[in-house]
Structure 1
């Protein structure tokens, strides 16, 4: 407890201040000389003893440094938190302790001065966390919510905000392609659905920006570089405009979103104006940098490659000809090209400019921000990605503070000019090292007498994908009575994307020009949606009890238009793209579905004495994607928490425990993430006039997926919250799987929408540790660790062997498995690799694939460090993953096309002890090699540790800006993917087995001014 003398001292100072400032007539209200007599009695020179006790929320604090300001005289509190010091009345005492706010108090004649310290770390427990429809203090939340802030996002040279999540959160897997603009793959606590996420979003989480749900499914692209994942609609968000990203994981946190929260919820909150400070601030940030691929493979050089090829011909007893050995007979035997350097060894330049203005009047605050981002690429050609964004947040309140309004507008335009119908990475790994030169001496594309396909021919193509994206939300609230609030959220989104690809015949070998024609590809995507959510919020406090309740309605509708067209037969290259000039126009896809969604939701949160918490959430959903009898479903959850560190028996017996909480939850969420109108017979118009043909079979009986989530967690704060530990166990079971059930070809349909009686289970452990290692006036060091140990399995699938999924899954095994042959070494007779023919029927099929290998992550996580030394700040993040994966594939030893350098060890002759097969280009050797690659021989360790981000910044001394317009300036250096520690032999262990661009090693520097 604070001593009354402390308050008296403060009051005396205030009275003295008033005596000097109050006009003379007001002195009549005081006895003559009263203000000065009280203080004049203090002898400022005479020393006396002062003592006291230093405490915090958990009791006495030993080891607190008590110093007389401006001197070297001081002491430390003893084991009981007590101190004693010889002082003058004019002295000020400074109380400091690592991890606590420093306090400075005057002596003012006191002989006893008790002080209560406030922990800086404990303040983290007071942070308000966005839980979607409500906010909750970090220490009081009953659900599983992870959070990253603007400091971890805004300075990274990335395009999508989801990229900033890699390695920072337990239970969240993020994989990002190195191609700017491509969609990010994200999984929250594993894969719940048997469906492929790119096809029908069965595993995508729900994305909400400022309270507005958006359609985040990837946008289709013709580009060979982006077709694997599609284009990311989140690209048009300004990273510098994001305040925080919260990930909702368990049932307690997600069930209020009902069917939309089965795969987790990602809440993106944008920055708002500074409230009621009656000033305007401006922020200007500029950075630029360069990037190169972080890794290349060690391939055969020309000498090694040609030797292996000749050996293969010798082993096969085949004579090389110009047809089967153009690399040996037609191409330069002394030429060497590093195709990795040539095709993806360029330098990618990134530039970003961000401007923001924020301010407020007495009742209105605003923030207006805009940015420009440009990212190049490492491929040949002048292609790049750029985007322009603008965001406005406006908050207003009435004078009586009953009415509040907040408006959020985010608009972005992006242009993606990264088209290529060629996979440059695949070509770079497979082209012969003595393949012809790319250009002839006169600067034309070299076709080497039609003996190869020039990889740069696609540079003659032109492509541009453009997108305009508006996300707007208006929130209104009115305080009806004390504790009763009426709210309404209204939102509108509009995304329009257009991609046009022009393919002239110049992109092909001139020898083929008389057999092909000019062509264009067109893709149009329009997504528009609106939402209205009226809500009633009630807060009630009675004694130690506190009740928070809300009830609301959701009305949502979206229209998604997708149109894809191919135009061919243009008479001249100048007409390409004008469909009216095409000889033939083919519509490959034309979809215009409307989705309607309504819901009733409610929440009741109760806590007693800020120690015991119960949270009840429920939602009744209605979706237009189901038949009339299956349209509605109920979802809900219960969550509870107990802050046991507030109990007296804990405080008295466990003094090192500063915070402790148990929490748990159980609930049911669902999913309707399937195509529209699947419960109806569907038809499309025939190419000719007056006809229809069926495209889908009706099934009015399929219904919602169900996801049951269970979680238990313990959170601990140790040694006055210097160390914080959280441990969670979770179990999610997704059943009644909504899939496209395959049909025999004789039916005329490929599949029908249906529920499968399969159950997918995700269990796991999540660990989060943070520690304030060092805290002082000039040096601070905070570190954090997150670790996830997941376990995914197909828990149940009745009659699996009778379905078309029998060659994809196994009951009791993860969904991400590989069914493999058993490798049986080198055949001593043929010298080729061999796999086991289990049933000895003379052929290799799925009956022989007896090895089941989990290709998912065994564990993953990240280690983050934040170090500040005076004005310098250093942060770095390590991402680590333990997993197995496919080894990099290549041509069989001796066949046409380059191979990893290990294949240079292939030898003819004695093969019993050889680890490699003999070189051969025969079909028998090819089949043997292909089978070996599909066996456990083709699987290896793809684990890695990667220095994901490193940032160094320096805040210039504020004294430099005393008379300048700028108030502060920061210089920063940022690096990504500096190096990776791994035994994986491929390009990137993040994509084992895939021939995709490895992570870009990026280095950028910039400056930020605040005015």
Structure 2
């Protein structure tokens, strides 16, 4: 039968157009989507069936007739909360029916952000989730903490990463380059943000207990995009732009700096000489350089291109995607970060709907050469403003003009080159077979392979020629491999029972992971061109090889029951086995209970409070474990000696240490009023982690510093989380929604028997957070010497760790974010403001010594010690940096993201041949409101570091 074009508008019951409605010809591959005005156009024949679907509304089905106009009205679902599908790991739930605490962000919120890792796109968007960058180099791993720090060990605090059902090792990868000082390499770098459908964070016991020991620190679930049952759709998205460091520290100019230096000599009654005053007597007194502009004042170009194709029919859907991301550097030199990614997803089900399969594959290649030389920022603040130039006219490093000073050329190592290449494969196959109605057998199989290859070249010309006799052309080589597989058979039963719905899940996990690392150094290359070719190296030294194997098995179960549409119960349990423990304690049991009461479903509530659309109380309690320690820690370990051969012991055996235990408790309420126009969620939690796995200190006579053991220390995290979303305006042409989240965390070392005798005596204090700094207590200036003084606690006439009794909490007092989404006709505007209440420190106030300082030290000279360069003044300054004196307010409010999108009119794009087209401009870290006088309040220690760049990008998205 001949097809005809059907055009119309999709509206809701109030006559407001609905954008993004899927319109599909049933049983075919033909489909389309409504535009921002709710308009759509599709080809169909008389007798065909059209299916209209959109989240929050009932699916509408209509048969095409000769008089069918195409205009459709969709009715809101009985409860739109049931339409939002949330990934809870081994099962799906909805916002209405969940008993656990799960936060979620979608593709629209993260895909246009010019960042390398999806974790960086989460900042400010989730309650209870802190994402803190560790450095300013693309590819470096951020620190993510879900409801605080649970373990005394750094490696014991990483959450579990799950990508399409496959667990990923979340510990950053080692590097011999600058990435080591910036947190290591992020294992999620190779993912394409445009290929991510959603990210869910599981936080409380009810949500995480089904993952057992792996979920002790929370779970990050990343779901990639899938194909849709519609006509083939091709999408191209591309953007380009630039990034720069958005701020500068106000430092002394040349004249101010030299005046301060002269005053120091006058105060000390010391004669300036070439040796102690080369900045006054040798260097050009009329030269001025803002070294911040030299070291990190460049502009980094950003380019991102993604191509995807998706489609299918009722039985089979597919999606193919590829991406390219490139980012330059704000540092001097030719440095770049590049990422190439590819993804594939296929879903199929048989005609009788008995068997279905889902196959997903994500592959990425990550190349990073942004790590050539070592010190990129420190000298930018400390170098005198009249210091000599870095380079000679011929481009070589200038060493001659620095010979008289105690400084070396700050760009020593500039010609070093580093290249880190990562190849990462993540693949998953899920099979689901319906044995009979309500009973399904499901199998999840996953495989990952991470290969990292790093080469650092250190040519002789990067260093002072005076030292060339002792410096050769050198190279550093590092190879990392992480390989894992997982097999998870599951049996799922769903049935109506009494007045409710019963869901039962039984499953098992078999997982194995191997880790290999090879590190070595080559030296003595005859020419620079041969550096890296180990066959040409005169010597190969410091060869090290590391290989470990980790096995994890478990059985798990879940029983979920919903009765009368208002009472919900969720029971989960898991028995874990880990190869990281000895035979005596290899297995452990974990579980949780979660319950919810949909209060608004009670008959009296509907009569007394009709404005309440939804009101739920929920709570959970349970235990999870933690086995994030090194492999084989329970065994005696030996290493080979150099030379003819032999073994020496490196680790003592302790087969009796066992799992850390994390007990989690939460109570919460969720409230919606005025037909879900205002949603409020409030959660209070308390997590206690005990049986801490740390090194138990041993006396030196044993020959070992420590032995792995469970210490009787307990760490508590508690806090309050508030989430609020409002539909401010909804009309035919204008819509405005707002979302707010705010978290008030508190971390505390509740108990630690014998802390004073342990190796952590100078690190922790009972009753204080783990993230403290033990400092001297500043007590003012010495009226005689004009130097800083501190409380001498034990009155022994000197300052040492026994005097460091001031415990400064370096954590955040509260943090959160506010998101606004505004739509007007063809325009869409979205922006996020994140905020943090915290303290930091400020340095650069050591006036008198060689080295620049902050300009405001001259305006507040009564707050600082006398301008001097005496030994006692230097000692006092070093001590004051380790006191509470430099602590200042480092709170900030930042315009984190802003995005403006314009959807081209259909009349224009149809002539070109596209189904839709958008142009957009996106800003990142546009402006920060803060009283902090350092460079970046997100790196608030001494004020000389930065983690965030200001980025502006623009691009286009085409669908056809």
Distance in 2, Cα, partners of 1:546 & 1:594: 42
Match of 2:119 among 162, 173, 179: 162
Q: 1:653 to 1:228 in 2, by over 3 A?
A: same
Cross-structure match for 1:465? 420
Shift of 1:361: 2.9
Cross-structure match for 2:740? 785
Unaligned runs of 5+ in 2: 5-11, 18-55, 63-71
Which residues of 2 match residues 867-882 of structure 1 at below 5 A?
867-882=822-837
Q: Deviations over 1:300-351 (max 9, x none)?
A: 1111111111111222222222222221121111101010001100000000
Q: 1:782 to 1:401 in 2, by over 3 A?
A: same
SS in 2 for 1:234: coil
Q: Does residue 397 in structure 1 map to residue 345 in structure 2?
A: no
Cross-structure match for 1:980? 928
Distance in 2, Cα, partners of 1:877 & 1:666: 33
Q: 1:873 to 1:120 in 2, by over 3 A?
A: farther
SS in 2 for 1:182: coil
Cross-structure match for 1:1000? 949
Match of 2:361 among 389, 394, 409: 409
Distance in 2, Cα, partners of 1:391 & 1:539: 33
Q: Deviations over 1:147-180 (max 9, x none)?
A: 0000011111111001110000000001123321
Q: 1:343 to 1:819 in 2, by over 3 A?
A: same
Cross-structure match for 2:25? none
Distance in 2, Cα, partners of 1:479 & 1:65: 42
Distance in 1, Cα, partners of 2:262 & 2:498: 90
Q: Does residue 1009 in structure 1 map to residue 939 in structure 2?
A: no
Q: Does residue 435 in structure 1 map to residue 356 in structure 2?
A: no
SS in 2 for 1:610: coil
Cross-structure match for 1:752? 707
Unaligned runs of 5+ in 1: 1-20, 22-54, 57-63, 68-98, 106-114, 908-913
Q: 1:194 to 1:462 in 2, by over 3 A?
A: same
Match of 1:971 among 909, 916, 919: 919
Cross-structure match for 2:96? 139
Q: 1:66 to 1:865 in 2, by over 3 A?
A: closer
Shift of 1:608: 0.5
Deviates more, 1:547-556 or 1:322-331: 322-331
Does structure 1 retain, via aligned residues, the 8 Å contact 2:141–2:182?
no
Does structure 1 retain, via aligned residues, the 8 Å contact 2:397–2:462?
no
Distance in 1, Cα, partners of 2:626 & 2:887: 34
Cross-structure match for 1:673? 628
Which residues of 2 match residues 556-575 of structure 1 at below 5 A?
556-575=511-530
Distance in 1, Cα, partners of 2:813 & 2:629: 30
Q: Deviations over 1:403-453 (max 9, x none)?
A: 111101000001001113332211101111111012223443211342442
Q: 1:122 to 1:608 in 2, by over 3 A?
A: closer
Shift of 1:262: 0.2
Shift of 1:100: 9.4
Does structure 2 retain, via aligned residues, the 8 Å contact 1:906–1:917?
no
Distance in 2, Cα, partners of 1:117 & 1:722: 18
Cross-structure match for 2:547? 592
Q: 1:224 to 1:320 in 2, by over 3 A?
A: farther
Shift of 1:697: 1.2
Cross-structure match for 1:613? 568
Shift of 1:573: 2.2
Cross-structure match for 1:214? 168
Does structure 2 retain, via aligned residues, the 8 Å contact 1:660–1:715?
yes
TM-score (norm 1): 0.86
Does structure 2 retain, via aligned residues, the 8 Å contact 1:878–1:949?
yes
Distance in 1, Cα, partners of 2:148 & 2:820: 27
Q: Deviations over 1:901-937 (max 9, x none)?
A: 1223476xxxxxx222111112210111111121111
Which residues of 2 match residues 49-448 of structure 1 at below 5 A?
118-119=75-76, 122-176=79-133, 177-196=135-154, 201-224=155-178, 226-275=180-229, 277=230, 279-448=231-400
Distance in 2, Cα, partners of 1:237 & 1:121: 37
Distance in 2, Cα, partners of 1:699 & 1:705: 15
CA-based RMSD: 2.2
TM-score (norm 2): 0.91
SS in 1 for 2:816: strand
Distance in 1, Cα, partners of 2:725 & 2:494: 33
- Of the two, which has the highest radius of gyration? 1
Shift of 1:680: 0.4
SS in 1 for 2:156: coil
Distance in 1, Cα, partners of 2:210 & 2:360: 23
Does structure 2 retain, via aligned residues, the 8 Å contact 1:696–1:749?
yes
Q: 1:523 to 1:443 in 2, by over 3 A?
A: closer
Shift of 1:802: 1.1
SS in 2 for 1:532: strand
Does structure 1 retain, via aligned residues, the 8 Å contact 2:136–2:182?
no
Q: Does residue 846 in structure 1 map to residue 801 in structure 2?
A: yes
Deviates more, 1:571-580 or 1:313-322: 571-580
Distance in 1, Cα, partners of 2:172 & 2:123: 19
Q: Does residue 622 in structure 1 map to residue 569 in structure 2?
A: no
Shift of 1:804: 1.2
Cross-structure match for 1:25? none
Match of 1:544 among 475, 499, 505: 499
Shift of 1:893: 1.4
Distance in 1, Cα, partners of 2:203 & 2:642: 47
Q: Does residue 699 in structure 1 map to residue 654 in structure 2?
A: yes
SS in 2 for 1:254: helix
Cross-structure match for 1:44? none
Q: 1:360 to 1:494 in 2, by over 3 A?
A: same
Match of 2:891 among 943, 946, 954: 943
Does structure 2 retain, via aligned residues, the 8 Å contact 1:142–1:665?
yes
Q: 1:869 to 1:124 in 2, by over 3 A?
A: farther
Q: 1:579 to 1:740 in 2, by over 3 A?
A: farther
Does structure 2 retain, via aligned residues, the 8 Å contact 1:905–1:916?
no
Q: Does residue 897 in structure 1 map to residue 851 in structure 2?
A: yes
Deviates more, 1:829-838 or 1:257-266: 829-838
Does structure 1 retain, via aligned residues, the 8 Å contact 2:163–2:221?
yes
Which residues of 2 match residues 682-697 of structure 1 at below 5 A?
682-697=637-652
Q: 1:624 to 1:443 in 2, by over 3 A?
A: closer
Cross-structure match for 2:882? 934
Distance in 1, Cα, partners of 2:221 & 2:472: 48
Q: 1:961 to 1:984 in 2, by over 3 A?
A: same
Distance in 1, Cα, partners of 2:634 & 2:517: 20
SS in 1 for 2:514: strand
Distance in 2, Cα, partners of 1:121 & 1:187: 37
Does structure 1 retain, via aligned residues, the 8 Å contact 2:845–2:857?
no
Cross-structure match for 1:28? none
Distance in 2, Cα, partners of 1:462 & 1:933: 35
Q: Does residue 816 in structure 1 map to residue 771 in structure 2?
A: yes
Does structure 2 retain, via aligned residues, the 8 Å contact 1:237–1:389?
yes
Distance in 2, Cα, partners of 1:590 & 1:329: 53
Distance in 1, Cα, partners of 2:316 & 2:587: 42
Shift of 1:542: 3.2
Distance in 1, Cα, partners of 2:103 & 2:478: 37
Deviates more, 1:426-435 or 1:841-850: 841-850
Does structure 2 retain, via aligned residues, the 8 Å contact 1:225–1:420?
no
Shift of 1:124: 4.3
Does structure 2 retain, via aligned residues, the 8 Å contact 1:220–1:227?
no
Distance in 2, Cα, partners of 1:427 & 1:125: 57
Distance in 1, Cα, partners of 2:77 & 2:501: 27
Distance in 2, Cα, partners of 1:663 & 1:778: 38
Shift of 1:992: 1.0
Shift of 1:369: 0.3
Distance in 1, Cα, partners of 2:728 & 2:853: 49
